[in-house]
Structure 1
Amino acid sequence: MSKRFINFNGEIFQEGENVLSLAIRGFKYGDGLFETMRMSKGKLNFPEEHADRLQKGMKTLKIEGYSNMDGYFLKEKTEELAKRNKIGQNARFRLTVFRDSDGLYTPNENKNGYSLEVTALDSAYYNINNKGLILDIYDDIFKPVNRLSNLKTCSALPFVMAGLYKKQHKLDEVFILNQNGFLCETLSSNVFLVYKGQIYTPALSEGCVAGVMRQVVINLAAKYQLDIIEAQINPEILNEVEEVFITNAINGIQWVMGFNRKRYFNEVSKMLLEKLNAT
């Protein structure tokens, strides 16, 4: 099996080459953020939305050079790496941006460094999961609500612990609560609930990641005159709602079948997924 290639600070290296040093702040302090993106039929999905979130995150972290990482940059670099890997037209990318500087907790500089990785995907479309997901609440560690909460940072230990909980209990996903005990997101996705004909999702003020697919779904719902309410959501409502689905940039929309003894439908999630694939 041939080795894959990665892009590290604009240069192409074989995966596995020694390109990182122990001085990298992303390794030592989690000082960075990342963007997960999907390419379908040779074109990067929602490049401008990913660029906007990336630039806002870099600006929040005071990492320089954010204006250069625009939609054109994302399209150019992902297409280049896909071709270099002969990976076809459907792929998943992870772009990690870190503060490229030495120093202890306080960095000496704020210039950026980045790495870009790619993995092939089978389908050009977002496919509905045939089997609904089974979820439970992970409440060993709560997510704080602050200026960093909406970012996908490299400081991901709470999510690692949630992933271990998911694996231990043989779950498909877990709900994560914020510091106040309200519904925030899941391990890898934003969450939506359907209750009495309306769609609800945790507001950004509740500390959830500002997911690109979250906003795409909100915009789709508005386009087709579906009500979506961004709100503070008590997890107890999970026992009452008719439908739950989760969203991220790679899988699009996935429906949840069960939480505890509660079972859900998937009518709204199926409909929205059809609209998503038609965009």
Structure 2
Amino acid sequence: MQQQYILHNDEFFLSTDAVLTSQNRAFRYGDGLFESMRVCSGKLQFAEKHADRLTAGMKALKMEGAGLMDEYFLRQKAAELLKKNKLKEGARLRLSVYRADGGLYTPESNKTGYLLEATAMSSENYELNKKGLIVDVFDEITKSADKFSNFKTSSSLLYVMAGLFKKQNSLDDAFMLNNAGFLCESISSNVFVVYNKQIYTPALTEGCVAGTMRSVIMEIAKHNDVPLIEAQINPEVLKEAEEVFVTNAITGIQWVMGYGRKRYFNEVSKFLSGKLNLQLS
């Protein structure tokens, strides 16, 4: 088996090497954020959107170096790691950015470090799932709609608990609510609901992550004259919707088949998935 490498602060290490210390602030305090990105046919997709969210998140966390982690940085570092790992087609990337060691709750500095990982994927492009997802609503813990809600921060206990709920109930995904009881997102995706032939998705003010694929799908819908509305969504609408699907930068669009006894179609999902693959660079 070929050895796999990571890129840590511009240096290659084996993926099994210990490169972070017990003083790492992402480990100690969740003091960091990350981006999950997709490589299709050897090219990093939607790098500009990922860079925009990353830099905005770093600024919100008052981290230095946000201006350096731009689209060029993402493309360059991704290319270096893909070449090192001999990954030429489909791959999944995760870039973790953390505040430098030092301090207790109060940091000693706002300098940053990063770690980039790459994992091979079997498909070169986005593929709509053949079997629809089975989902339920996780309401044991809700998500706050605040300054950090739209970013993928290292503080992810809510998603871990939702993941346990999914596993314990033999689900494919779990939908989460915000602290007002409205639909927010799923464990790793944004949620879209087709109701009365209109597509609805929770507005960013509802506390969902500002997903890069969410943004892409909204643009595709607009360019194809498909009505799509950002809104506050009562989870009760899931019982009446014609279609439900989720999106993220890794899997693209995944259609939901069932919620409780409710069963959904996937016509809109198929249409948007076809258009998505035409967007790839």
Say yes or no: TM over 0.5.
yes
- Give 1:272's aligned amino acid: L
TM-score of the pair, normalised by structure 2: 0.98
The answer (yes or no) to whether the contact 1:88–1:120 under 8 Å persists in 2 is: no
Within 5 Å, give how 1:170-209 maps onto structure 2: 170-209=170-209
Shift of 1:238: 0.3
Corresponding residue number in structure 2 for 1:58? 58
Give the C-alpha shift of residue 246 in structure 1: 0.2
Q: 1:101 deviation in Å?
A: 3.0
The aligned residue for residue 47 of structure 2 is 47
The alignment covers a number of residue pairs equal to 279
Quote the sequence identity (%).
Answer: 58
The question of 1:29 aligning with 2:20 is answered: no
- What is residue 81 of structure 1 aligned with on the other side? 81
Deviations, residues 6-27 of structure 1 (Å, cap 9, x unaligned): 0001110111112110000000
2-structure distance, mates of 1:172, 1:274: 23
Question: Partner letter of residue 274 of structure 2?
Answer: E
The equivalent residue for 2:236 is 236
What is residue 99 of structure 2 aligned with on the other side?
A: 99
Q: Secondary structure at the match of 2:230?
A: strand
Gaps of 5+ in 1: none
The question of whether the paired residues in 2 share the 8 Å contact of 1:101 and 1:110 is answered with: no
Distance 1:258 1:107 in 2: 46
Tell me by how many angstroms 1:2 deviates: 2.9
Q: Is the 8 A contact 2:176 2:187 kept in 1?
A: yes
Partners of 2:42 and 2:87 within 8 A in 1: no
- Structure 1 counterpart of 2:202, which letter? P
CA contact (8 A) 1:144 1:179 kept: yes
1:113 maps onto 2:113 in alignment? yes
Distance 2:222 2:87 in 1: 35
Instruction: Say if 2:133 and 2:172, in contact at 8 Å, map to a contact too.
Output: yes
Distance (whole Å) between structure 1 residues aligned to residue 171 and residue 41 of structure 2:
32
Letter in 1 for 2:47: P
Q: Give the letter aligned to residue 184 of structure 1.
A: C
Q: How many Å separate the matches in 1 of 2:146 and 2:128?
A: 33
Question: Retained in 2: the 8 A contact 1:184–1:208?
Answer: yes
1:135-214 matches, cutoff 5 A:
135-214=135-214
2:200 and 2:168 map into 1 onto residues whose CA distance is 29
Secondary structure at the residue paired with 2:271?
helix
The CA deviation string for residues 142-180 of structure 1, in whole angstroms up to 9 with x for no partner, is 011110111100000110011011001000000000001
Report the Cα distance in structure 1 between the residues aligned to 2:136 and 2:198, rounded to whole angstroms: 23
Partner amino acid for 2:175?
Answer: F
Q: Deviations over 1:52-71 (max 9, x none)?
A: 01000000000110000011
Asked if the contact 2:182/2:234 (under 8 Å) is kept, the reply is: yes
* 1:115-135 per-position Cα deviation (integer Å, ceiling 9, x unaligned): 000000111111010000000
* Structure 2 gap segments, 5+ residues each: none
**Equivalent position amino acid for 1:261 in 2:** R
